[in-house]
Amino acid sequence: MSILIKNAYIATMDKDGTGEIQNGFLLIENNLISQIGDNSNGTADKIAADKGIDKIIDAKGAILMPGLSNTHTHLGMTLLRGYADDMALKDWLEAQIWPAEANLTAEDVYWGSLLGCLEMIRSGTTAFCDMYFFMDETAKAVEKAGIRGCLSYGMIEFGDVEKGNKEIAVNEKLVSDWQGKANGRITTMFGPHAPNTCSQAFIARAKAAAEKAGVGVQIHVLETEAELNYMKENFDMCSVHHLDAVDFWNTSKVPVIAAHCVWMSDGDIRLFAEKGVTVSHNPISNMKLASGIAPIQKMLDAGVSVTLGTDGCASNNTLNMFEEMKTAALLQKVGTMSPTALPAKAVVEMATINGGRVIDKQTGALKVGNKADMILVDTNKANAAPIFDVYSHLVYAAAGSDVKTMIVDGKILMEDYKILVLDEKEVIEKANERAHSLAARAQKC
Ligand SMILES: C[C@H]1O[C@@H](n2cnc3c(N)ncnc32)[C@H](O)[C@@H]1O
Ligand SMILES: [Zn+2]
């Protein structure tokens, strides 16, 4: 299968390469990008005449860019969108979310995950990094929807060794069953939940298991001031140093993603930069739960690789990375009282190349040899006139609903706003049904 995209404004997001191409073309052969370049001399038409191309997309009036990577989700939780709002994290989890999740079934997570995939396709996310339960179901949804997913099982052990053994075994099975499946679109990680819900010994075990399996690890860390205080009271140090004591942040063997990182000290930031930890910044969730403002500009200045995530749909309440990009930029500016903090291009890099490469090294930028994961953003829109700077447009003016076409691993998932891989109506209906049934089981209704 070959796809030739022509007449596009291309934002390659290739940090060492091309940058932007005003009138560009891009050739996809099988699942890889095989050519990319300037089309002002009609190169695309010459390629089409020379080679038999299966599909030609005229992208005039659109921005072609890498698909967005959402590096922190709980996809099955999409069923809990709007289930409990306007609460602080601890209360929200303990009084509302965990009791609801105690009633989850595999079928709930399957339809919740498919709904999440649908929303991600519609709003430009080609890859995501997940931590949840019944992960076989999320894997099946990813397989069907055609996007890219890095899946971990959310392990909560609360210092119970027996429970810890079971949790590790479940995550190990996820890795052995799904790593590399769907032509490599599905990858896996280990997901110890957080330093205040899992013991230090358990988190160290999870890291060792990840290294043994050759997959990454992801964790929530320093999300709230309450976590920081709890760690200081109980261990006389913050979460970052508590885990550094067992060498958790060492990334020489496998990648480590730290979600939230709101309450990081300057020393914690230096340590993450030295160790090569990837941070997943979740500004909307942090604002909604009033967790605080992560020092993202400081992290970037220190050389930390920062990416963007939505968190679960119940604390956001969407999976829309365009909203996340705009919020990230605005929050950092108001948080530092500096309008130069987190400029637009840095935000787009967080959502594309930085996030992409932690999920799959061959994604996140449009360049020859990378996997063909990309989107077309429609600029035939009132909110897209005029465009003086493509990054400014993408962060401050574009909407997730401007995404008109998505290709993942060389396959078209949405073309001209039409979803080709899922029955949209069925997914929405079934997800609604499962959500209301879950709420009834959890005695919410
Ligand atoms: C994997 C586990 O993480 C929970 N979860 C969802 N959102 C957050 C958050 N912002 N912080 C911590 N845990 C969260 C899920 O509800 C699930 O219980
Ligand atoms: Zn989370």
User: Which atom of ligand 1 is nearest the CA belonging to 93?
Assistant: 16
Relative to the alpha carbon of 196, which ligand is closest?
A: 1
Distance CA 153, CA 130 (A): 8
Q: Report pLDDT digits (tens) over 411-422.
A: 999 999 999 999
CA of 133, closest atom in ligand 1: 1
pLDDT in tens, 94-109: 999 999 999 999 999 9
The pLDDT of 222-248, averaged and rounded, is 98
- 8 Å CB contact between 151 and 137: no
Is the CB of residue 31 less than 8 Å from the CB of residue 410? yes
Three-state DSSP string of the chain = CEEEEEEEEEECCCCCCCCEEEEEEEEEECCEEEEEEECCCCHHHHHHHHCCCCEEEECCCEEEEECEEEEEECHHHHHHCCCCCCCCHHHHHHHHHHHHHCCCCHHHHHHHHHHHHHHHHHCCEEEEEEEECCHHHHHHHHHHHCCEEEEEEEECCCCCHHHHHHHHHHHHHHHHHHCCCCCCCEEEEEEECCCCCCCHHHHHHHHHHHHHHCCEEEEEECCCHHHHHHHHHHHCCCHHHHHHCCCCCCCCCCCEEEEECCCCCHHHHHHHHHHCCEEEECHHHHHHCCCCCCCHHHHHHHCCEEEECCCCHHHCCCCCHHHHHHHHHHHHHHHHCCCCCCCHHHHHHHHHHHHHHHHCCCCCCCCCCCECCEEEEECCCHHHCCCCCHHHHHHHHCCHHHEEEEEECCEEEEECCEECCCCHHHHHHHHHHHHHHHHHHCCCC
Q: How far is the CA of 395 from the centre of ligand 1 (A)?
A: 27
Of all residues in the chain, the percent with pLDDT exceeding 90 is: 98
What confidence tier does 17 reach under pLDDT thresholds 50, 70, 90? Answer: confident
Strand-by-strand arrangement of the 68-73 sheet: 68-73, 125-132, 148-155, 186-192, 216-221, 256-260, 278-281, 305-308
Spell out the long-range contacts of 433-437 with Cβ–Cβ below 8 A and sequence spacing 24 or more.
Answer: 433/111, 434/79, 434/107, 434/108, 434/111, 434/112, 435/79, 435/80, 435/81, 435/108, 435/112, 437/108
Q: What is the largest CA-CA distance in the chain?
A: 70
Task: With a cut of 60, say whether residue 146 has pLDDT above it.
Answer: yes
| Residue 295 beta carbon below 6 angstroms from any ligand 1 atom | no
pLDDT-based confidence at 443, cuts 50/70/90? Answer: confident
Mean pLDDT of 58-86: 98
Q: Which atom in ligand 1 lies closest to the alpha carbon of residue 191? A: 1
- The Å distance, Cα 62 to ligand 2 centre, comes to 33
What gap in Å lies between CA 75 and CA 120, rounded to an integer?
Answer: 10
Over range 166-194, report the average pLDDT.
Answer: 98
Give the closest residue to 72 by CA, choosing from 249, 253, 283.
Answer: 283
- Specify the fold of 2-66+372-419: Urease, subunit C; domain 1 (2.30.40)
Whether 140 lines ligand 1, by a CB cut-off of 6 Å, is no
Say what the ipTM of the complex is: 0.99
Q: Mean pLDDT for the chain? A: 97
220 is in an annotated binding site: yes
Q: What is the rounded CA–CA span in Å between residue 27 and residue 7?
A: 12
Residue 24 backbone phi and psi in degrees, to 5: -115, 170
**Confidence band (pLDDT; 50, 70, 90) for 445?**
low
What residues form DSSP beta bridges with 25?
6, 37
CB-ligand 1 contact for 311 (6 Å cutoff): yes
Residue-level pLDDT at 203: 98
CATH 2.30.40.10 positions along the chain are: 2-66+372-419
Q: Is 101 annotated as a binding residue?
A: yes
Residues of the chain with CATH 3.20.20.140: 68-359
pLDDT at 18: 76
Tell me, using a 6 A CB cutoff, whether residue 27 lines ligand 1.
no
| Residues around ligand 2, an ion, CB closer than 5 A | 311
Tell me the CA–centroid distance for residue 117 and ligand 2, in Å: 17
**Ligand 1 center to residue 123 CA distance, Å?**
23
205 lines ligand 1 (CB under 6 A): no
Instruction: Return the percentage of the chain with pLDDT > 70, whole number.
Output: 100
Q: Of 120, 141, 138, 105, which Cα lies nearest the Cα of 373? A: 120
The answer to whether the CB of 285 is under 6 A from ligand 1 is yes
Closest ligand 1 atom to Cα of 291: 10
Query: For residue 282, which atom of ligand 1 is closest to its CA?
Result: 10
pLDDT of res. 373: 99
Query: Rounded to 10 degrees, what is the CA torsion of 106, 107, 112, 114?
Result: 110
Find out whether 281 is annotated in a ligand binding site: no
The answer to whether the CB of 378 is under 6 A from ligand 1 is no
CA angle 372, 373, 379 (to 5 degrees): 115
Homologous superfamily assigned to 68-359: Metal-dependent hydrolases (3.20.20.140)
pLDDT at 16 over 80: no
Which of 85, 158, 220 to probe ligand 1 with, by most ligand atoms within 8 A of CB? Answer: 220
Q: What is the model's pTM?
A: 0.98
